[in-house]
Amino acid sequence: METKYLQFNNEDLALAGELIRQGQLVAFPTETVYGLGANAWDEQAVKSTYLAKGRPSDNPLIVHIWDKSQIYDIAREVSSDAQKIIDALMPASITIVLPKKDTISDVITAGLDTVAIRMPKSKQARDFLRYAQVPVTAPSANLSGRPSPTTWQRVQEDMDGRISAILCGDMCDVGIESTVLDLSHGTPKILRPGVVTPETLELVLEKPVEIVTNPKSKVNSPGVRYKHYAPKVPMVLDLTDDHDKLCAYYDQKVAEGYNPVLWCNHPFRYGKRNATAMGIDTRDVARGLYENLRYLETRYDFIIASFCYDPKSMYGDEIAIGILDRLKRAAGNNII
Ligand code: TXA
Ligand code: MG
């Protein structure tokens, strides 16, 4: 199939909307990462998303909306906690999990009784969704297991020829996927950390939220079980920022014949060794995270990532929880 490259003008947006309603797949920008959109009311279209990505069918999809009134077409029940989040935070980089209506296909929810709903903050995303006129399921627009795309060119790398169209919008400003918050029953639970932090959620909900991060536990977010975001070259993660240890590890890799890179906070400390900065603060690290992974794997053959969570430093806020989650997955939990 020949993939169309569409721009953000009325004509192309109308075509993108038309393609969605016809059951085709259209990739589009959001403020977090690019999504691979399909008409949520069209089971066949939703099925083809799993195929295009090579995604296991037991990993459910998020339904994207542009107007809060759509939530009541999708969720069976909106608890008072959910209403607080909807009123205070949406649109934002957050996804809420609520009990689903019967009209929501099992293909979307992978058989769960709940559905994930997200109203993106980005204007480009909401313009596209408005033109689509229907709720749109969208996983990140990467091949399953690869780092999520934050530019349309990265979507092109993975999806050219596999989907009908790519809306060529801006680079994503947030850079990591939305916070997934389960509000379907009991204590609110963060199933996937993101830039909407536990602190913010607790302020809005006026109660504690639980952070569920164990990838092996049978939590309600099946997506966290799978290997994710892996670069094509081996990657390890250091959490200490110990200069001497990192130099020794790097030199060992060189001795083994690798051309490694230190991806870290203070690259200038490492003299002639290959070293590159992660970012000046957590927002910056998140924004560049996947783009850096996709770049570094083309230049080096071993990635030594170092991210030291220090509450007193510029990496000290709760966005670091989301970054650490992605780095651990990218490194296949290989911590040195
Ligand atoms: O920022 C984002 O959320 C991006 C953009 C495109 O909106 N989308 C995204 O989708 O990251 P995806 O498919 O890559 O991740 C969806 C996550 C998975 O971890 C999945 O398991 C979880 O949401 N999820 C979806 N439906 C769920 C449900 N009913 N209960 C629990 N978790 C659910
Ligand atoms: Mg994804």
pLDDT tens column, 166-176: 999 999 999 99
Enumerate the β-bridge partners of residue 166: 5, 27
Which atom, in ligand 1's list, is nearest to the CA of 220? 31
Report the predicted TM-score, pTM, of the whole model to 2 decimal places: 0.94
pLDDT at position 227: 62
The 10 Å Cβ neighbour count of residue 301 is 16
What number is the average pLDDT over the span 82-99?
98
Which residues are within 8 A (CB) of 222 and not within 5 positions of it... i.e. 6 or more apart?
58, 59, 60, 110
CA 282 to chain CA mean position, Å? 16
Neighbour-count burial of 252, counting CB atoms closer than 10 A to its CB (0-12 exposed, 13-18 middle, 19+ buried): exposed
Which atom, in ligand 1's list, is nearest to the CA of 109? 29
Return the higher-pLDDT residue of 223 and 230. 230
- Ligand 1, atom 7: closest residue by C-alpha: 35
pLDDT at position 83: 98
pLDDT at position 25: 98
Return the higher-pLDDT residue of 105 and 145. 105
Least Cα distance to 180 among 107, 115, 100 occurs for: 115
pLDDT at position 223: 52
pLDDT of residue 217 exceeding 60 = no
Return the minimum-mean-pLDDT range out of 28-42, 55-69, 112-126, 251-265. Answer: 55-69
Instruction: Tell me which H or E stretch contains 297.
Output: helix 282-299
Average pLDDT over all residues of the chain? 94
pLDDT band at residue 224 using 50, 70 and 90 as cut-offs: low
With a 6 A CB cut-off, is 137 part of the ligand 1 pocket? Answer: no
With a 6 A CB cut-off, is 114 part of the ligand 1 pocket? Answer: yes
pLDDT of residue 117 exceeding 60 = yes
Answer whether 304's CB lies under 8 Å from 238's CB. yes
Ligand nearest to the CA of 223: 1
pLDDT at position 215: 47
- 223: DSSP letter: G
pLDDT at position 220: 46
What number is the average pLDDT over the span 108-120?
97
pLDDT at position 312: 74
What number is the average pLDDT over the span 276-296?
96
Phi, psi of 182 (to 5 degrees): -85, 115
**Rounded to the nearest whole angstrom, what is the distance from the C-alpha of residue 317 to the centroid of ligand 2?**
24
Answer whether 33's CB lies under 8 Å from 158's CB. no
- Strands of the chain, DSSP E: 4-6, 26-28, 35-39, 62-64, 94-99, 114-118, 136-137, 165-167, 179-182, 189-192, 210-211, 235-238, 260-264, 275-277, 302-306
pLDDT of residue 219 exceeding 70 = no
pLDDT of residue 301 exceeding 80 = yes
Which residues are within 8 A (CB) of 66 and not within 5 positions of it... i.e. 6 or more apart?
119, 125, 126, 129, 130
**Rounded to the nearest whole angstrom, what is the distance from the C-alpha of residue 53 to the centroid of ligand 1?**
14
pLDDT of residue 135 exceeding 60 = yes
**CA–CA distance, 186 with 204 (Å, rounded to integer):** 17
> Residue 251 corresponds to which tokens in the numbers above?
């030199």
With a 6 A CB cut-off, is 94 part of the ligand 1 pocket? Answer: no
pLDDT band at residue 58 using 50, 70 and 90 as cut-offs: confident
> Residue 147 corresponds to which tokens in the numbers above?
């780092």
Which residues are within 8 A (CB) of 114 and not within 5 positions of it... i.e. 6 or more apart?
97, 98, 99, 100, 182, 184, 220
pLDDT at position 221: 52
pLDDT at position 314: 73
- 214: DSSP letter: -
pLDDT band at residue 293 using 50, 70 and 90 as cut-offs: very high
pLDDT at position 225: 54
Ligand nearest to the CA of 115: 1
Name residue, tokens 């590159």: 276
**CA–CA distance, 295 with 274 (Å, rounded to integer):** 14
What number is the average pLDDT over the span 14-25?
98
What number is the average pLDDT over the span 177-198?
96
